[in-house]
Structure 1
Amino acid sequence: GGGGVGKSALTIQLIQHHFVDEYDPTIEDSYRKQVAIDEEVCLLDILDTAGQEEFSAMRDSYMRTGEGFLCAYSITSRSSFDEVAGFREQILRVKDADHVPMVLVGNKCDIEQERQITSLE
């Protein structure tokens, strides 16, 4: 997702179990977490990427090595929602595949009063 949609906040919540409420733009941070999925232990390698356009040249590299993707947008930002389709297309192009594991994440649902994207969209 683009800058400011909450990718780092989601990652920190998953890894460290606390909510980060200040915005500190990320260039790249990586994390590891052991989880159980369908009773099988898995090791997640999580790459928290830069959302800002000035780091877009790094995206192809991230996408080439990734095995699954969370495409995040802010429910308070129409432009971040519109931008997600481009990220999806870029992932499919870089992976040279018709099907790549992806999950669309609508973030910032705690500020519902600022919602710009409907649940139906």
Structure 2
Amino acid sequence: KYDATIEDVYKKTVEIDGKQYSLEILDTAGTEEFSAMRDLYVKNGHGFVLVYSITSQATFNDLDEFYDRIIRIKDIEIHGQPALVLVGNKSDLED
């Protein structure tokens, strides 16, 4: 049986051009149950990966809400536009 992600955090240090960077990925199911924790990660984050299922139009439509939340929390008037990446997953399930 498939068990949907509730929340997982992945941490890795990477070196690029001789400089160390800390990478943290917060993987959530997108439920409101963890919205406070997610908001804290957004506040402290510098870049974001928004993932949707290409087999579900609803998950793509939900991205507007996540994007608006990121923009609101990051206050782009002060900090500028954060780096964003859009990823469509589950291509192996597409008919």
The normalised TM-score by structure 1 is 0.63
Q: For residue 96 of structure 1, what is the aligned residue in structure 2? A: 75
Mapped partners of 1:106, 1:51: distance in 2:
15
Query: Separation in 2 of the partners of 1:111 and 1:26?
Result: 18
Alignment match of 2:30 (pick from 44, 51, 54): 51
**CA deviation vs aligned residue, 1:67-110 (integer Å, no higher than 9, x gap):** 11100100000000011111111100011115111101111111
Change (3 A) 1:38 1:86: farther
* Larger strand proportion of the pair: 2
Q: CA RMSD in A?
A: 2.2
Structure 1 residues 44 and 83: alpha-carbon distance in aligned structure 2, compared to 1, 3 A threshold: same
Aligned residue pairs, count: 92
Q: CA deviation at 1:40?
A: 4.5
Give the conservation status (yes or no) of the 8 Å contact 1:26–1:51: no
User: Structure 2 counterpart of 1:42, which letter?
Assistant: Y
Q: TM (normalized to structure 2)?
A: 0.77
Q: Which moved more, 1:101-110 or 1:38-47?
A: 38-47
1:93, 1:23 → 2: CA distance? Answer: 33
Q: 2:5 aligns with which of 26, 29, 39?
A: 26
Match of 2:93 in 1: 111
**Letter aligned with residue 86 of structure 1:** E
Q: Matches of 2:25 and 2:89 in 1, distance apart? A: 18
What residue is the counterpart of 1:17 in the other structure?
Answer: none
